[in-house]
Structure 1
Amino acid sequence: MDDDARQQAYADFNEAVNMAPAALETFLDSEDSKRVGWKGEDGKGSGESVGHKSGKRIIEIKRTKKADLTDDDYAHMKKVVGYVHRHLAQGGPAEDKEHSDWRYSLMNWGHDPCK
């Protein structure tokens, strides 16, 4: 990834992720966070969701100095931006967005649509 692509990924990530690391960390500890999201191929809903794992990685990235970010970090940033944009485009529920699985899923990925 060249410098221009890194700069763009960094800017897009920081626009998409509107939760501070401490707020995201607090949310990831909640039952709502752990309850939502895709949990794998087994269909049993066991284990940690993809979004929950991503949230942990987002916290690490946000707490890392820009100069120390790796290509893997930038790849994850792009994945986060893609997810947030796709999920927002779907639109949330007509009523009670604040307490919806749609919002909680986005929050696992570091974006609170109610902010």
Structure 2
Amino acid sequence: MADMPTQELDELWGRFHTVVNMTSRELSEWLRTRSAGQETEELPDQAGTENGRRVLEILGKRRVDLTDDDVRVMRKVVDTVTSERGADLEPTAGQPNWRHRLMTLGHDPLKPVGS
């Protein structure tokens, strides 16, 4: 288990699952889609960015199974999404590149939070 106070871990866990508004299946499909080329397609477990694959792994874990590295990734995702979106996270259309980059971290800016 990650080496941090339980309350702090609980808060991070909740915030992470708020900003990551894509399901594991949606994120997995997105990572495979983004990695597919015209002539080749990466293996499913190698598709997408390293951070995207790590988010997908974390989504499949229980809170008690988190490692210190998981916590680092969770903080990075929360910080990135929050800095790019602000605190309200209301559905927002933006440039496709911006949306696609956030989707690689499990956050779809067009999707309401909590859905």
Q: Same fold (TM over 0.5)?
A: yes
- Cα deviation, residue 34, structure 1: 7.5
Q: Name the counterpart of 2:68.
A: 71
Report the residue type matching 1:5 in the other structure.
E
What is the distance in 1 between the residues matched to 2:81 and 2:49? Answer: 14
Runs of 4+ in 1 over 3 A off after TM superposition: none
Superimposed CA distance per residue, residues 48-87 of structure 1 (whole angstroms, 9 cap, x where no aligned partner): xxx8211100010010122211122112111110011112
Pairwise CA RMSD of aligned residues? Answer: 2.3
- Cα deviation, residue 3, structure 1: 0.9
- The two structures have a TM-score, normalised by structure 1, of 0.72
Report the residue type matching 2:33 in the other structure.
S
Q: Name the counterpart of 2:44.
A: none
Equivalent pairs, count = 93
Work out whether 1:102 is the aligned partner of 2:101. no
Q: Name the counterpart of 1:53.
A: 50
What is the distance in 2 between the residues matched to 1:69 and 1:87? Answer: 25
What is the distance in 2 between the residues matched to 1:63 and 1:6? Answer: 17
**Equivalent residue for 1:18, pick from 17, 21, 33:** 21
Q: Which ranges in structure 1 are unaligned for 5 or more consecutive residues? A: 36-50, 90-95
Q: Which ranges in structure 2 are unaligned for 5 or more consecutive residues? A: 38-47, 87-92
